[in-house]
Chain A
Amino acid sequence: MLQKTLFIPRDLQLIEELVLEPTLEPRFNAISAYLVWDDELPSGITPDGLDVLSSLWTARALFHRGLTFSDHPVNPEYSRRVWEQALKEIPSWPGFQRLQLSEADQSYFEEMIGKENPY
């Protein structure tokens, strides 16, 4: 069950203060198999706020692999609702500007998700 708002005002403010930095390179999260850029993760965000961003990164990784919400391995409907609500609450989040990957980032992403044991 989703709450009325995804983010508390404090987290909302932190996210709204983020600025897209197009020159940044992504990092990979081997646990959740998604890419994340430093300008998408605000310092000081609460664990609850971070949990929502984690949902967004996971959903975005589906798009990076050419998949859709229905391919979400755990809860497609939940994932879709979080994404849609986040688009309303934090439309300027830099992560929404990276729904498509550059060639280099796409190559990096595919290399990373292809590793049998990345640890």
Chain B
Amino acid sequence: MSDQSEKGKGDRQSGAPADKPVLNSPEGQQVRNATGDQVEAIKAANPNVSDGSVKNWALMTKAEKFAHVEKTGQDRSLELVDREPSGKEVVVAARQMVADVEAKSQPATTLQELAEIDSRPIKDYGFGVEQHGQDKVIRTGVEYQVGQPPEVTEQNLFERIGALPLEQQAQVIGAGIKAYNAELTHQQFRIGVGAITGLGDGVVGLPQSAESLGTSIIGVAQFGRDVMTNDPAAIDTAGKAGESLGKLMVAGIHVFGAADAYLGNLGAATTVGDYGKGLRDVAWLGQQINQRWEAMSPEEKTRLATKLTVENLGGLAVGFGADRLAKSVKITEALEVLGTEASAMGSGVREKASKLISRMADELMPQPMGLTPDGRLMPIKNDTGKFDDFAAKMVGRSGEYFPEHKPMFLAPGPNKVLSEREMEAFGGLKKLEALSDGELASIGLRRYDMPKLNLQRDDFSIKAFVIGDTKAWVHASLPKPGTVVLEHLDNGAMPSGTGGELLAQALKAHAAHPTERVILKNIVNKESFQAIKAGALPQDTHIAGCVTKALRLLGIKPVSYRYETVGDKVNIVIDTVVVR
């Protein structure tokens, strides 16, 4: 009896209530103040050290459960081995866990793709022993739950993690990185996530939700790693990183805050997993984002924050405060706060906030570096070469611009450049280009070069002013990528016939290519109205002719012209395509 009684007390030899009286002793205080390394050393010195398998699961904290799953590797394959007379070992029975097969044979992306294709809820049994009379039944593996709604959704799981303390969020992020770097099996990650969120490991829908969680986490960490090591893969992983950050943050997950906290305070004082390597990649990325933010002027911060907030949140922009973002010292913290606030809102708000965070991250994340053909190391953006992505990054440019050389020729008399047809009368453009200034003068012509431009921009529009001509200017709004609304245009003192060239150079200088549409706004000038009254087609108006010339110079083809009336304005809308 007495033996049984002692055994029943398990590890608690004193029989005292756990923690308090023991920890009040000097020894207890010493243990309490022990560092992680000291605790590990004591454990290692114990000859009767337990492997953890007999520890009462119910007494473990969530963090301990999470670490236990990782440390014990309870999903590993089992093998029964017999030894032949020759001494050779033979496997007579084996069980290979699904997760083991997954980790060895399938990359994470394949699993994610499968999860996207097959949306049936899945239940993961982990590895459990059930007693049926005198028999023990081992139940393991995964099983479709057809007709059974998932008990946990992706959003629900993400929010549960967002509600955890930073230390535990860091554990999940760290484990996610490990799982997708094949240092931990996906099943271990799932079981860990189930444990730390209190969901358990057999919840229907958890495998798919955890898969999505892991993919988002690695999306951030992988980009940080790729940029840090100057891996060309960063060009491809950049887009995923921003998207993943948005998704995680609007669930209240403090991706960077948790990583910083782990590395700064918690990592040294905890024995719960070693996530330093992966979390350092995440923290580094956050630091880079903050450094780029700090390097911006207050005006640039306001412009970027306002632009992205208005574009992505629309009417919600006021509530979420572009000013607050613009005035933040650490933009990662401000975005995490915004994400946490959005997590309490409806799905529509969360989606918009996610896009805002994603766009802001895209703007501020370090750019992958690559070698140019002439051997220089330069930042390479994922969208380099894409013709129509200009407005997704920044509206226009500022500063002086030297227009590309475009041969134009002035005839004597009116201040006007020769049209193409008129140049043909002199033998064509190529012949005129080949003539010297003297030869040109002998036939009454002289060259005309487009002057330098002064470029200005704001949150929604671009401007170009001709330096030395106080009247010549171009002003256009960019409501969305590929669409340019021409608001103001005048040649000033420049020769007649240069309007198309001025417009083309201005759009080119600002990288504002109307690849989908140009709207000529409020064409209430005398000539256009006479043309409309006379039943002229929109393409036959002078302004449409000017813009058509500019489009041609930009390699863009107009495909249709139409008038539209909006309020007190008549506009000409030109739909366009890029000439490849």
Contacts and interface: CB of A to CB of B under 8 A. Distances in A.
Same assembly: yes
Nearest to B497: A119
Contacts of B543: 30-31, 119
A101 interface: no
Interface residues of A, number: 35
A78 B456 CA distance: 32
Contact of B488 (A29, A82, A119): A29
B419 to A, nearest CB: 11
Contacts of B471: 25, 27-28
A70 to B, nearest CB: 13
A117 B525 CA distance: 10
Contacts of B546: 119
A27 B310 contact: no
A25 B524 contact: no
A31 B521 contact: yes
A30 to B, nearest CB: 5
Nearest to A30: B490
A59 B489 CA distance: 18
A31 B306 contact: no
Given A58-B524, A113-B526, A31 B489 contact: yes
B300 interface: no
Nearest to B496: A117
Contacts of B78: none
B64 interface: no
Interface size class of B (residues with CB under 8 A): 35 or more
Contacts of B461: 47, 50
Contacts of A92: none
A30 B318 CA distance: 36
B216 interface: no
Chain B residues touching A, majority SS: mixed
Contacts of A116: 527
Contacts, number: 118
B412 interface: no
Interface in A61-119: 72-75, 78-79, 82, 112-113, 116-119
A9 B399 CA distance: 30
Contacts of B485: 47
A36 interface: yes
Given A73-B529, A119-B496, A29 B569 contact: no
Interface in B82-133: none
Given A45-B460, A46-B460, A117-B542, A29 B568 contact: no
B479 A47 contact: yes
Given A9-B318, A44-B306, A119-B543, A31 B523 contact: yes
B303 A54 contact: no
B477 interface: yes
Contacts of B427: none
Contacts of A29: 487-490
Given A10-B306, A41-B475, 10 more contacts: A27-B471, A27-B492, A29-B488, A32-B522, A51-B569, A54-B569, A55-B569, A74-B569, A82-B568, A116-B527
19 contacts: A29-B487, A31-B543, A36-B488, A46-B310, A47-B485, A51-B521, A51-B569, A54-B487, A74-B565, A74-B568, A74-B569, A75-B565, A82-B567, A112-B490, A118-B496, A118-B525, A119-B491, A119-B497, A119-B499
Q: Closest 8 CB pairs between A and B?
A: A119-B499, A119-B546, A33-B525, A75-B568, A78-B568, A43-B458, A44-B458, A32-B522
Interface of A: 9-10, 25, 27-33, 36, 41, 43-47, 50-51, 54-55, 58, 72-75, 78-79, 82, 112-113, 116-119
Interface of B: 303, 306, 310, 318, 456, 458-461, 470-471, 473, 475, 477, 479, 485-492, 496-497, 499-500, 520-527, 529, 542-543, 545-546, 565, 567-570
